[in-house]
């Protein structure tokens, strides 16, 4: 059985400062296309630093560059952006914004 992870996506402080540069900038694109995982989780699924992986939910999938970081085991973090929007469903629970935290996802090394 494929190991499942919990995805938390939110805006990072660096992302907030980059908004002045623009969402089309190379730095902003790099940030929102990179996911962070615990090094132990990366090793367990055979994922190397800088390698690309597909993250899949029941709603869709996106590809991200992987980096090891200070993230709890079993969790991944991706700054909110166009790639994470492909993973969301349409339900907003009345907030006007689709749920972006606590998703159960598959991570498939490429």
Distance CA 25, CA 18 (A): 8
**pLDDT given at position 102:** 76
* Confidence class for position 17, pLDDT limits 50, 70, 90: low
Distance CA 110, CA 105 (A): 16
Distance CA 94, CA 25 (A): 32
Each residue of 19-67: pLDDT tens digit?
Answer: 666 667 788 788 889 999 999 999 999 999 999 999 999 889 999 999 9
What would the mean pLDDT of 12-25 be, rounded to a whole number? 66
Distance CA 90, CA 98 (A): 6
Stronger pLDDT, 74 or 18, i.e. the higher one? 74
The backbone torsions φ and ψ at residue 12, rounded to the nearest 5 degrees and listed phi first, read -95, 160
Distance CA 24, CA 14 (A): 15
β partners of residue 54: 63, 108
pLDDT for 13 beyond 80: no
**pLDDT given at position 16:** 61
Each residue of 88-105: pLDDT tens digit?
Answer: 876 656 666 656 677 889
Would you state the CATH architecture of domain 4-109?
Beta Barrel (2.40)
């Amino acid at each position: 059985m494929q190991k499942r992870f919990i995805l938390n996506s939110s805006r990072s402080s660096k992302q907030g400062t980059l908004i002045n540069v623009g969402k089309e900038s190379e730095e902003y694109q790099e940030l929102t296309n990179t996911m962070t995982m615990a090094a132990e989780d990366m090793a367990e699924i055979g994922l190397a630093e800088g390698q690309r992986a597909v993250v899949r939910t029941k709603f869709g999938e996106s590809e991200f560059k992987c980096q090891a970081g200070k993230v709890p085991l079993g969790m991944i973090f991706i700054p909110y952006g166009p790639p994470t929007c492909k993973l969301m469903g349409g339900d907003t629970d009345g907030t006007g914004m689709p749920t972006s935290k606590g998703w159960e996802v598959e991570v498939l090394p490429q």
